[in-house]
């Protein structure tokens, strides 16, 4: 009986102690609003270039940093086939070509968020050329693209043709964001901060139909030439210019046309940039497919004859032929001028050269910071190699691209040295790369970043939560100790 009394007393005392502790802790705990983690937002951008289309999916926290999202790449998908401008004669195929990548994108975006994902398609130089040549065909291609994208559960915001300056400026934003020139996470501050000594990079972009240069000049900039942005609370004013018809593919067409026109009516024409023993047959009618080569020369407009281009592997002759594509005389003696009379302040700072700049130099193993002399020597040596040598040395390289690397490389040298006026010293400030971190370099990320400026930051979602303080825990421990001591004493006295 005594044992039962003891057990019962002990149990009661234990329960009382536990209840008193719980009541005490609850009375001392401060109840306040606690924010939930910010929601993740998504966005999609199609880069509809002249030679291909790619889709990029981006994500960022809804609370943003100084009104700009901290954006990361969640997915990239290359659309099969050529650029959407190639579907001018069959516009529905332009929309259909996007379906595979759209379906891949929806697999990485939660179903509950898909309906609010802003989705854009930006077309670049290929569609700019198509609009010049046939504006109704360009409109129809964009209409078919929009029709397809509206079939998917996303917030489609439109398909439009970007200006060359927009393309260049957004590429500049992408580069400097990825290289943490705008904002950088500080582990010490546990926050995103503006770098005190930010290194702002310039952007060099070479596409299929156009090329862009964008950078922050030293000193003041003529306001008519400036593109202005506000990113992470800071204002930036940059120079940017785009040259239509000076993209890699259009340059090759223009080069071939000039060589043919200079040779009069010959059906066999020497091509100094093609490897020796390589031949390519082209129809004069093919030059009428682009505004860049659709000249009024009667030898091009009234004849559909074929011409065979015979490779000669002449490095110096190639460089000379490429230089003729530029009108350098239009600048006179002005140093603030590239070609065709276009104003440009002196290049300043470090530059990232991407897209075709990178791909051509990567093939030639020239992306490791080689000196200008080493670059020239490598290009000259490559241009002297025969077609048999090249095709056996690079059996896995695309047979259509391989004979064009000599022309492309000499074109890059001419554009950077003679047009943009980099020299032997500033050449070392050019870095050839296509990625920074895990994200692709290009205009789409910069486009998405700039758009986040226009999207209102969401107010944090709050819940009622319990936040215990240190003194409450200390008092609870003291009360627990005293209670247990009193309980033990009570038991001993009862016994």
Summarised one tens digit per residue, pLDDT across range 202-231 is 999 999 999 999 999 987 766 566 788 888
Domain spans in the chain, listed from the N-terminal domain onward? 2-36+468-494, 40-245+435-452
Q: What is the mean pLDDT of the chain?
A: 84
Helix %, strand %, coil % of the chain (to 5): 45, 25, 35
- Identify the bridge partners of residue 59 per DSSP, sorted by sequence position: 42, 72
- The phi and psi torsions of 73 (rounded to 5 degrees) equal -85, 125
Query: What pLDDT, in 10s, does the model give residues 28-77?
Result: 555 444 444 457 889 999 999 999 999 999 998 866 555 565 788 999 99
Q: How many helices (H) and strands (E) does the chain have?
A: 15, 20
Residue 326 has pLDDT above 80, yes or no: yes
Distance (Å, rounded) from C-alpha 168 to C-alpha 210?
A: 10
What is the average pLDDT across 161-179? 92
Percentage of the chain modeled with pLDDT above 90: 61
Query: pLDDT-based confidence at 1, cuts 50/70/90?
Result: low
Query: What pLDDT, in 10s, does the model give residues 240-285?
Result: 999 999 999 999 999 999 999 888 767 899 999 999 999 999 988 8
What is the average pLDDT across 283-289? 84
What is the average pLDDT across 458-475? 42
Q: Is this structure's pTM higher than 0.85?
A: no
Concatenating the DSSP letter of every residue in 394-460 gives -TTS-TTTGGGHHHHHHHHHIIIIIIS---TTGGGGEEE-SEETTEE-SHHHHHHHHHHTTSPPPPP
Q: Which of 59, 65, 167, 250 is catalytic?
A: 167
* Structure token digits, residue 288: 């009428």
Distance (Å, rounded) from C-alpha 117 to C-alpha 451?
A: 13
CATH number of 40-245+435-452: 3.30.420.40
Residue 482 has pLDDT above 70, yes or no: no
Residue 238 has pLDDT above 90, yes or no: yes
Residues 43, 116 contacting (CB under 8 angstroms): no
* The pLDDT of residue 454: 46
Query: What pLDDT, in 10s, does the model give residues 94-115?
Result: 999 999 999 999 999 999 999 9
Percentage of the chain modeled with pLDDT above 70: 77
- The phi and psi torsions of 206 (rounded to 5 degrees) equal -125, 110
Our answer to whether residue 167 is catalytic in this structure is yes
Query: pLDDT-based confidence at 483, cuts 50/70/90?
Result: low
Pairing of strands 118-123, 40-48: parallel
Distance (Å, rounded) from C-alpha 218 to C-alpha 168?
A: 19
* Structure token digits, residue 260: 């043919």
Query: pLDDT-based confidence at 165, cuts 50/70/90?
Result: very high
């Amino acid at each position: 009986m005594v044992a039962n009394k003891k057990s019962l007393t002990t149990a009661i005392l234990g329960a009382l102690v536990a209840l008193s502790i719980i009541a005490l802790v609850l009375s001392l705990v401060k109840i306040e609003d606690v924010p939930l983690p910010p929601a993740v937002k998504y966005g999609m951008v199609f880069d509809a270039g002249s030679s291909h289309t790619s889709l990029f999916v981006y994500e960022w926290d809804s609370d943003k940093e100084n009104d700009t999202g901290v954006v990361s790449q969640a997915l990239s998908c290359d659309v099969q086939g050529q650029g959407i401008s190639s579907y001018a004669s069959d516009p529905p195929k332009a929309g259909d070509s996007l379906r595979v990548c759209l379906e891949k994108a929806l697999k990485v975006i939660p179903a509950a968020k898909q309906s609010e994902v802003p989705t854009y398609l930006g077309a670049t130089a290929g569609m700019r050329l198509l609009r010049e040549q046939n504006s109704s065909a360009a409109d129809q291609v964009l209409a078919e693209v929009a029709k397809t994208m509206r079939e998917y559960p996303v917030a489609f915001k439109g398909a439009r043709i970007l200006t060359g300056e927009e393309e260049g400026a957004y590429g500049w934003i992408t580069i400097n964001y990825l290289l943490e020139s705008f904002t950088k996470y500080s582990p010490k501050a546990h926050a995103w901060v503006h770098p005190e000594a930010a290194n702002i990079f310039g952007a060099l972009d070479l596409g299929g139909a156009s090329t862009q240069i964008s950078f922050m000049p030293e000193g003041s900039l003529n306001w008519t030439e400036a593109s202005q942005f506000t990113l992470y609370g800071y204002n930036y004013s940059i120079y940017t210019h785009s040259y239509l018809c000076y993209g890699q593919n259009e340059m090759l067409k223009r080069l071939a046309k000039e060589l043919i026109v200079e040779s009069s009516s010959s059906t066999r024409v020497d091509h100094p940039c093609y490897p020796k023993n390589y031949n390519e047959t082209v129809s004069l009618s093919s030059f009428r497919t682009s505004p860049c080569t659709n000249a009024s020369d009667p030898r091009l407009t009234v004849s559909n004859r074929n011409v065979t281009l015979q490779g000669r592997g002449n490095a110096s002759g190639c460089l000379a032929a490429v230089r003729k594509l530029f009108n350098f005389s239009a600048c006179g003696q002005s140093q603030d001028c590239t070609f065709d009379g276009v104003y440009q302040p002196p290049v300043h700072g470090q530059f990232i050269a991407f897209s075709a700049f990178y791909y051509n130099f990567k093939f030639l193993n020239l992306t490791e910071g080689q000196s200008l002399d080493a670059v020239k020597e490598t290009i000259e040596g490559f241009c002297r190699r025969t077609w048999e040598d090249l095709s056996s040395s690079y059996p896995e390289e695309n047979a259509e691209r391989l004979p064009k690397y000599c022309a492309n490389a000499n074109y890059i040298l001419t554009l950077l040295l003679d047009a943009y006026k980099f020299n032997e010293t500033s050449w070392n400030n050019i870095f050839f790369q296509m990625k920074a971190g895990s994200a692709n370099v290009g205009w789409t990320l910069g486009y998405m970043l700039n758009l986040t400026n226009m999207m209102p930051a969401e107010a944090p979602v709050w819940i009622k939560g319990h936040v215990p303080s240190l003194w409450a825990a200390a008092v609870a421990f003291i009360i627990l100790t005293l209670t247990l001591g009193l309980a033990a004493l009570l038991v001993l006295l009862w016994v």
